[in-house]
A and B are shown apart, each in its own frame.
Chain A
């Protein structure tokens, strides 16, 4: 039972690292705030979420892992909330949206 959980934990850790890498690439490379928030809002919550789940599953489920699941729930709520708040702040303060014709400067 425990080796199966450990394999699952390693797979979740690797998947989480790939998603975090994707979100960070989006944050660094994409041209405006809205696309950056789009990239990080999804990839970061999935990536960090599966890293947390992998650490919780590591070595079998114990009572102390309940706190990790709580932290996972918190990060799953707070990631989309902050991304939405940032995008709304950008929209209401009138940030220009990147169009395809602006391709030269990004």
Chain B
């Protein structure tokens, strides 16, 4: 059983390196983001497999944090690519930029 888990984790790591190849050559920034996102998902699965192999339950918490970070990073980066800003779609909703200092 542990052998199967080891084989799965190794296969996932090899496939994650294939994703990193796409992140290297991917012609557009969106391709690179997609590849990094998929590699992060695979790393999350590898963490879960390592938790099952070694019996360390805290690795599952690490995997949850990894998945959340992956989601937030990708959403923020795509939002920035799409509209050039992070907060909102329209410039009127932006927080006012303080151009003039006090005094």
**Main DSSP-derived SS at the A contact region:** helix
Q: How large is the interface on A (under 10, 10 to 19, 20 to 34, 35 or more residues)?
A: 35 or more
A17 in contact with B71 (CB, 8 Å): no
Which among B15, B57, B79 has the greatest number of chain A C-beta atoms within 10 A?
Answer: B15
Give the nearest-CB partner of B61 in chain A: A67
Rounded to whole Å, the gap between the CB of B24 and the closest CB of chain A is 11
Tally of contact residues, B, Cβ under 8 A: 42
Complex contact A24–B64 (CB within 8 A): no
B2 to chain A, nearest CB (A): 10
| Contacting residues of chain A (74-98) with chain B, CB-CB under 8 angstroms | 74-75, 78-79, 81-83, 85-86, 88-90, 92-93, 95
B82 with A58: CB separation less than 8 A: no
17 sampled A-B residue pairs with Cβ under 8 A: A10-B1, A17-B11, A21-B15, A24-B19, A24-B38, A27-B22, A27-B35, A51-B8, A51-B49, A55-B5, A71-B48, A71-B63, A78-B70, A82-B75, A89-B81, A90-B28, A92-B82
